[in-house]
Amino acid sequence: MHDALLRWFDANARDLPWRAADRTPWGVLVSEVMLQQTPVARVEPVWRTWMDRWPTPPHLATATAAEVLRDWGRLGYPRRALRLLDSARAITDLHAGQVPDDEAALRALPGIGAYTAAAVRAFAFDRRSLVLDTNVRRVLSRSVAGRALPPPSQTVAEERAAAALLPDDGPAAARWSLALMELGALVCTARDPHCGSCPLRAGCAWLDAGSPPDEHAARRRTQAWTGTDRQARGQVLAALRAADGPVPTADLVWPDREQLGRCIATLAADGLVEPVQLPDGRPGVQLPDGRPDELRPGVRLPGAPSADGRSE
Ligand code: SF4
């Protein structure tokens, strides 16, 4: 299984900048945050813009929240942009501007969870760590467990099975994880796996079992988009990104005004917008200023001084 997959990876891996020989831990961290629930094709141009403008954590640490939200563009889930900004400030303050390679230090950064910490350790530092993203879970679910798709929530059994296949050597483990990810993205895709061109087809448990259907189909959520709060929030942010300053609330176009008001309130609670009063007295909304000496509301660095010196 390993030889077949790694040979395929050598011949088919995409040339992505966060995997290049000159990649930096910061570039890897930014890519991993951007790639959460967002496809490579949408991430790559934004990642290049970010890395040109903010090539290191200290560069990003000086940005304002409005700047990072503008450059985040339409990647979606924009709280990730603010978390990256907070991480950059924390890395600058607490780690002399260098992304740490220690799991506990990585997980203490704002918005960095178990998966992202494992991915940064593997892909930036060649450490042996278990990287289980959606693509890896799907490939292992089919090829090893014989299931159409993995369970909706990650299980201990999956982690054990994946760990058993992970090479002992750090760089080899990182390459193995990348190869599984790439196979899931390009060949063993969710809806239409290209089994005829798959390097794992000879021993694939799902194919051997006759390609049974997804046993968890009824539990999977399908996320609607049109008319949702997520769509309304995205429209508000798009309007603010396109404007030079505050926008009158009345000028924001959305059919359900009550829903619009609720979404502005949740965006403000998330630190993504600021309600303001315009000079003519009308209510308005703007991107947050978020000066470099501020961490987002709710961001705490346990046991460490914050950017402004308070102990949090
Ligand atoms: S043979 Fe098909 S189902 Fe099995 S791992 Fe390859 S692409 Fe996925």
| pLDDT at residue 51 tops 90 | yes
| pLDDT at residue 91 tops 50 | yes
Calpha distance 247→288 (Å, rounded): 12
Q: How many angstroms separate the alpha carbon of residue 25 from the centre of ligand 1? A: 32
- For residues 95 and 70, the answer to whether their CB atoms sit within 8 Å is no
- Dihedral (Cα; 53, 57, 61, 63), 10-degree rounding: 10
Q: How many angstroms separate the alpha carbon of residue 142 from the centre of ligand 1? A: 6
Please report the pLDDT score of residue 309 as a whole number: 31
Please report the pLDDT score of residue 221 as a whole number: 72
Calpha distance 78→285 (Å, rounded): 17
Position 220 confidence tier, pLDDT thresholds 50, 70, 90:
confident
Position 298 confidence tier, pLDDT thresholds 50, 70, 90:
very low
- Tell me the per-residue pLDDT of 246-261, one tens digit each, with 9 for 90 and over: 999 999 999 999 999 9
Closest by Cα among 154, 155, 163, 157 to 128: 163
Ligand 1 pocket test: which of 8, 134, 135, 143 has the largest number of ligand atoms within 8 Å of its C-beta?
143
Return the residue whose CA atom lies nearest to atom 3 of ligand 1.
Answer: 142
Please report the pLDDT score of residue 226 as a whole number: 87
| pLDDT at residue 205 tops 90 | yes
Please report the pLDDT score of residue 305 as a whole number: 36
Calpha distance 54→68 (Å, rounded): 10
- Mean model confidence pLDDT for the chain: 91
Please report the pLDDT score of residue 225 as a whole number: 82
Q: How many angstroms separate the alpha carbon of residue 189 from the centre of ligand 1? A: 9
Please report the pLDDT score of residue 82 as a whole number: 94
Ligand 1 pocket test: which of 135, 138, 187 has the largest number of ligand atoms within 8 Å of its C-beta?
187
Q: 246 is written with which tokens?
A: 């505050």
Position 279 confidence tier, pLDDT thresholds 50, 70, 90:
very high
Q: How many angstroms separate the alpha carbon of residue 199 from the centre of ligand 1? A: 8
Calpha distance 193→52 (Å, rounded): 36
Q: Concatenate the DSSP letters of all residues of 28-72 into one string.
A: HHHHHHHTTTS-HHHHHHHHHHHHHH--SHHHHHTS-HHHHHHHH
**Phi, psi (degrees; rounded to nearest 5) at 311:** -90, 125
What is the DSSP secondary structure assignment for residue 78, as one 8-state letter? T
Beta-ladder partners of 276: 284
Atom of ligand 1 minimally distant from the CA of 200:
6
Residue 158 falls in the annotated catalytic set: no
- Tell me the per-residue pLDDT of 146-198, one tens digit each, with 9 for 90 and over: 999 999 999 999 999 999 999 999 999 999 999 999 999 999 999 999 999 99
Alpha-carbon 235 to chain mean position = 21
Q: Which domains does the chain have, with CATH numbers?
A: 126-221 (1.10.1670.10)
Region 230-242: what's the mean pLDDT?
94
Atom of ligand 1 minimally distant from the CA of 193:
7
- For residues 118 and 131, the answer to whether their CB atoms sit within 8 Å is yes
